[in-house]
């Protein structure tokens, strides 16, 4: 798997799109797919805001664009959390789901057509790989609930000690899902936390 930050961000976008399509086509998937999509979007957004957007503003000269993208993140997160409060079989849910998906797709389109190309032009391959590692690390910490924020694109000194709690029952369903995705486990979107943990163990993903 490519380790540059642009590829990683686009991979997340495609995964979110897959979950959106699933929720629209299979209403029965919503109780599992919605919390997962909300958690993924939040982790993705925080990782971008921690590392990618500071680089976009300072190194690519796209400060206003980065600020606008951050505002879109917050709007989409608010909409996602609102959906979690609704009856997933209701007409209101269908309407709000469409609004949420539309907002996220708008953001993704702007990011992939404008922001990521600007980042790719301004940064060399090694810097993009470094950002990819930082993005992936922050994203994993967000999913695990162990993130420490610095807000300036630099690693937090406090990081490192919390990473040992990734095994056992301390893992969240979203984090187990991510491991299952990395390991290519099929049918993961329909599995509960215990089923994901078992599949991750069987696929050689460590002590899930």
Q: What is the pLDDT of residues 168-183, one digit of tens each?
A: 446 777 777 778 878 8
pLDDT of 19 higher than 70: yes
The answer to the question of residue 159 being in a domain is: no
Q: Which pLDDT does position 165 carry in this prediction?
A: 37
**Is pLDDT at 207 greater than 60 in this prediction?**
no
Whether residues 194 and 106 fall in one domain: no
Is residue 112 assigned to a domain?
yes
First to last CA, the chain: 22
Percent of the chain with pLDDT over 90: 67
CB 103 within 8 A of CB 11: no
Q: What is the pLDDT of residue 177?
A: 79
133 lies in the same domain as 189: no
Residue 60 backbone phi and psi in degrees, to 5: -110, 0
Verify that 95 and 180 share a domain, yes or no: no
Name the average pLDDT for the chain.
Answer: 85
Domain region containing 28: 5-152
pLDDT on residue 188: 75
Tell me the pLDDT band of 163, cut-offs 50, 70 and 90: very low
């Amino acid at each position: 798997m490519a380790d540059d930050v642009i590829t990683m961000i686009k991979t997340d976008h495609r995964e979110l799109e897959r979950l959106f399509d699933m929720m629209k086509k299979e209403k029965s998937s919503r109780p599992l797919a919605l919390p997962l999509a909300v958690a993924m979007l939040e982790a993705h957004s925080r990782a971008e805001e921690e590392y990618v957007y500071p680089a976009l503003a300072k190194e690519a000269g796209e400060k206003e664009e980065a600020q606008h993208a951050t505002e879109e993140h917050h709007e989409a997160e608010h909409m996602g959390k609102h959906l979690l409060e609704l009856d997933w079989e209701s007409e209101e849910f269908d309407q709000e789901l469409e609004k949420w998906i539309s907002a996220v797709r708008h953001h993704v389109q702007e990011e992939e057509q404008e922001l990521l190309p600007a980042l790719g032009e301004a940064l060399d391959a090694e810097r993009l790989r470094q950002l990819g590692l930082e993005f992936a690390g922050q994203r994993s910490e967000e999913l695990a609930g162990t993130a420490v924020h610095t807000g300036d694109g630099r690693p937090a000194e406090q990081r490192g000690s919390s990473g040992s709690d990734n095994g056992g029952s301390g893992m969240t369903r979203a984090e187990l899902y991510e491991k299952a995705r990395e390991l290519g486990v099929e049918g993961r979107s329909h599995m509960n936390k215990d089923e994901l943990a078992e599949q991750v163990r069987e696929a050689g993903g460590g002590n899930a």
